[in-house]
Amino acid sequence: MILVVDFGSQTAHLITRRLKDLGIESELVDPDDALKVCSKVKPSGLIFSGGPASVYEKNAPMVDKKIFNLGIPILGICYGWQLIAYLLGGEVNAGNKEYGPTTLRISDFHNLFYGLPSETSVIESHGDTVEKMPDGFEKLAETESVFLAAVVNKEKKFYGVQFHPEAHHSDHGSEMLANFATIVCNLGLHPQSPNVDEMISEIKEKVGNKKVIGAFSGGTDSAVAGVLVARAIGKNFIPFFVDSGLMREETIARIKNEFPKTLGVKVEIIPARDLFLIRLKGVTDPEEKRKKIGALYIELFEKEMKKHKDIKYLLQGTTYADFIHSQGSKRSAHIKSHHNVGGLPKNMKLKLLEPLRYFYTDQVREIGLKLKLPKDVVFQQPFPGPGHAVRIVGEVTGKRLARQVAADMIVVSELRKSGWYKKVFQCWSVMSGTNSTAVKGDGRFYGEVVAVRIVNSKDRMTAEIARVPFPVLEKIASRIVNEVPNVSRVVYDITSKPPATMEWE
Ligand code: XMP
């Protein structure tokens, strides 16, 4: 757990609330009791809250200096940081008052700021500031008027920030607290059962009367995020969907017909099927294909943006797993350029709204159910952002896309009929790009080989093939060769991941 030493800040309790949202146990403690409680509960980390006093005041709250020798990581916030500096031999001065939002410029992304942008808006509210760091500390970030806005003693794992990461409007504040808890204090995040009403009122409070734009991908995450925002701000939410023709038809139908009812707002459909096919003409390299699709999504997104005024936020259905995955590792090899809706336009002025950022897939589903979304939306299989295009090896033509759509639908419907759909993580067909010989109606026929891939996985990092009974596979094969034009043969992909990735491209 993390113990929060309460020096009287208005937002001390909010620190524990933020930690609890992340699934971290935390408790407030009075400064006079802090040392005693530490030896009793042995916290993994300490946070010193802000407070209204100045360290030089006669009755300013203090902590026993022995607390610095316990080997526990400490994050000092505002007064908490000033107190650390004062007690460890730094210098605190009056002046340079700052109240309200200001831009934090990060120069060292060490732990606390891991994965954050180099500039982010934070809330400051202080009279005093630290003018001279104690020995062993180094600077991590500054603001316009505070040179030592964030500091660290790397050896002792003591951090100090002059601003308030726990405040709602410190844009990446929760991530800083999450980084402190996970990277510095070695705690795991176990967010608790989500409270949907609280989530909706938080969005309401954060967004106010501003407008939010959001793209639906057809997947569970963007649907759940969209419904939360629609419930919070109604018509000020502007949802749209790019109809690339690369998604499953049932997804597209759902977005067109069901979503407006669930959301209570109209979903703007951007028709782009022909455009995607034109851009994919002649493209056979899988990476180039992904990049072309991503670029076109961005292009269409930017065009859509220009149609609306006064938009302040962009809604994203990012989950905690996406966040962690997208960080990658410094030394990891580049396997594929994954993307959902094509990444974000460069120089985007909009602020991100990510209500699911600290939730995992199972919790997102729980939220979806609480919001009364249809079960087939909540429990649908993941579908890659570039859709069928990465399941058609080689060039995506109109004809091959139509065949892929038909073959894929056969896989899905046969698994549904046999009761296997719910037991597997993902299932789909692949237009393999290879031809083989067949005999159709007494004549030689030379056509494309279709592969069927059905896998089980928990976290997508590894996968095993699903042991679907042969009669089900045989039915799939028979229907595909008979119903889909130009198919000569159907094979079942029996390769695990690793070494093979789940998608063929
Ligand atoms: P791979 O092929 O990398 O797939 O083993 C792992 C999981 O990710 C999905 N996938 C994607 N999802 N954008 C996405 O949003 C993509 O570009 C993408 N490529 C693969 C894949 O369906 C599987 O669930």
Sorting pLDDT into bands at 50, 70 and 90, what band is 357?
confident
Half-sphere exposure of 426 (CA within 13 A, CB side): 19
- Is 385 near ligand 1, meaning CB less than 6 Å away? yes
Smallest CA separation from ligand 1 atom 7, residue:
460
pLDDT digit string (tens) for 301-333? 888 888 888 899 989 888 866 654 554 433 344
User: Class for domain 397-492, per CATH?
Assistant: alpha beta
Under a CB-based contact definition with an 8 Å cutoff, are residues 222 and 190 in contact? no
- Is 316 near ligand 1, meaning CB less than 6 Å away? no
Sorting pLDDT into bands at 50, 70 and 90, what band is 457?
confident
Say how far apart CA 163 and CA 488 lie, in whole Å. Answer: 65
Q: What's the 384 CA to ligand 1 centre distance in angstroms?
A: 5
Tokens representing residue 312 in the block? 């302040």
Q: What's the 124 CA to ligand 1 centre distance in angstroms?
A: 41
When pLDDT is averaged across residues 235-253 and rounded to a whole number, the result is: 93
> Which distant-in-sequence residues (6+ apart) come within 8 Å of 406 by Cβ?
483, 484
Under a CB-based contact definition with an 8 Å cutoff, are residues 300 and 306 in contact? no
CATH for the 196-378 domain, from 3.40.50.300, 3.30.70.2740, 3.40.50.620, 3.30.43.10: 3.40.50.620
> Matching CATH topology for 196-378 and 397-492?
no
Sorting pLDDT into bands at 50, 70 and 90, what band is 335?
low
Tokens representing residue 491 in the block? 């094979």
Sorting pLDDT into bands at 50, 70 and 90, what band is 260?
confident
Residue ranges of domains in the chain: 2-184, 196-378, 397-492
Q: Is 349 left (phi over 0), alpha (psi -120 to 50) or beta?
A: alpha
When pLDDT is averaged across residues 1-16 and rounded to a whole number, the result is: 90
Q: What does the DSSP 8-state code read for residue 65?
A: G
Instruction: Look at residue 342 in the predicted model and tell me its pLDDT.
Output: 45
- Is 258 near ligand 1, meaning CB less than 6 Å away? no
> Which distant-in-sequence residues (6+ apart) come within 8 Å of 88 by Cβ?
68, 134, 135
> Which distant-in-sequence residues (6+ apart) come within 8 Å of 307 by Cβ?
none
Tokens representing residue 422 in the block? 């719910």
Q: What's the 228 CA to ligand 1 centre distance in angstroms?
A: 25
Say how far apart CA 3 and CA 193 lie, in whole Å. Answer: 22
Residue 371 backbone phi and psi in degrees, to 5:
-85, 0
The β-bridge partners of 55 are none
Report the atom number in ligand 1 closest to the C-alpha of 390: 19
- The residue ranking higher by pLDDT, 95 or 326, is 95
- Is 430 near ligand 1, meaning CB less than 6 Å away? no
When pLDDT is averaged across residues 283-303 and rounded to a whole number, the result is: 91
Does the pLDDT of residue 334 top 70, yes or no? Answer: no
Report the atom number in ligand 1 closest to the C-alpha of 382: 24
Under a CB-based contact definition with an 8 Å cutoff, are residues 342 and 298 in contact? yes
Q: What does the DSSP 8-state code read for residue 421?
A: G
Say how far apart CA 84 and CA 74 lie, in whole Å. Answer: 9
Q: What's the 366 CA to ligand 1 centre distance in angstroms?
A: 23
Under a CB-based contact definition with an 8 Å cutoff, are residues 204 and 163 in contact? no
Instruction: Look at residue 308 in the predicted model and tell me its pLDDT.
Output: 87
Say how far apart CA 197 and CA 394 lie, in whole Å. Answer: 47
- Is 497 near ligand 1, meaning CB less than 6 Å away? yes
**Torsion over CA of 287, 289, 294 and 295, rounded to 10 degrees?**
110
Smallest CA separation from ligand 1 atom 10, residue:
384
When pLDDT is averaged across residues 72-94 and rounded to a whole number, the result is: 96
Kindly list the distances between the CA atom of residue 503 and the CA atoms of 59, 384, 393, 452, 497, in Å, as whole numbers in the listed order: 65, 9, 10, 11, 10
Under a CB-based contact definition with an 8 Å cutoff, are residues 61 and 145 in contact? no
Residue of 183, 180, 175, 190 whose CA lies nearest to 115: 175
Residue 426 backbone phi and psi in degrees, to 5:
-150, 150
User: Which range has the worst mean pLDDT, 104-113, 161-170, 426-435, 448-457?
Assistant: 161-170
Q: What does the DSSP 8-state code read for residue 310?
A: S
Q: What's the 460 CA to ligand 1 centre distance in angstroms?
A: 8
Q: What's the 339 CA to ligand 1 centre distance in angstroms?
A: 8
Say how far apart CA 371 and CA 379 lie, in whole Å. Answer: 14
Instruction: Look at residue 190 in the predicted model and tell me its pLDDT.
Output: 77
Is beta strand 74-77 parallel, antiparallel or unpaired with respect to 138-142?
unpaired
Averaged pLDDT score across all residues of the chain: 90
Instruction: Look at residue 320 in the predicted model and tell me its pLDDT.
Output: 66
Instruction: Look at residue 123 in the predicted model and tell me its pLDDT.
Output: 87
Say how far apart CA 232 and CA 203 lie, in whole Å. Answer: 6
Helix (H, G, I), strand (E, B) or coil at 340: coil
Say how far apart CA 304 and CA 270 lie, in whole Å. Answer: 9
**Torsion over CA of 328, 334, 335 and 336, rounded to 10 degrees?**
80
pLDDT winner (highest mean) among 9-23, 89-103, 465-479, 491-505: 465-479
Among 216, 460, 461, 497, which is best to mutate for testing ligand 1, by the most ligand atoms less than 8 A from CB? 460
Say how far apart CA 106 and CA 103 lie, in whole Å. Answer: 10
Q: CA-based diameter of the chain, in Å?
A: 101
Report the atom number in ligand 1 closest to the C-alpha of 335: 3
> Measured in whole angstroms, how far is the alpha carbon of residue 216 from the centre of its chain?
15
**In which residue are the tokens 């046969």 written?**
414
Q: Which CATH architecture is the domain 2-184 placed in?
A: 3-Layer(aba) Sandwich (3.40)
- Is 338 near ligand 1, meaning CB less than 6 Å away? yes
- Is 291 near ligand 1, meaning CB less than 6 Å away? no
Burial status of residue 168 (CB atoms within 10 A of its CB: 0-12, 13-18, 19 or more): middle
Report the atom number in ligand 1 closest to the C-alpha of 501: 5
pLDDT digit string (tens) for 395-404? 999 999 999 9
Say how far apart CA 421 and CA 411 lie, in whole Å. Answer: 9
Q: What's the 340 CA to ligand 1 centre distance in angstroms?
A: 9
Smallest CA separation from ligand 1 atom 18, residue:
384
Report the atom number in ligand 1 closest to the C-alpha of 383: 22
Residue of 311, 16, 69 whose CA lies nearest to 192: 16
Instruction: Count CB atoms within 10 A of the CB of residue 328.
Output: 10
Helix (H, G, I), strand (E, B) or coil at 101: strand
Residues marked active site are found at 78, 164, 166
Smallest CA separation from ligand 1 atom 21, residue:
384
Share of the chain above pLDDT 70, in %: 93
Q: H or E stretch including 132?
A: strand 129-132
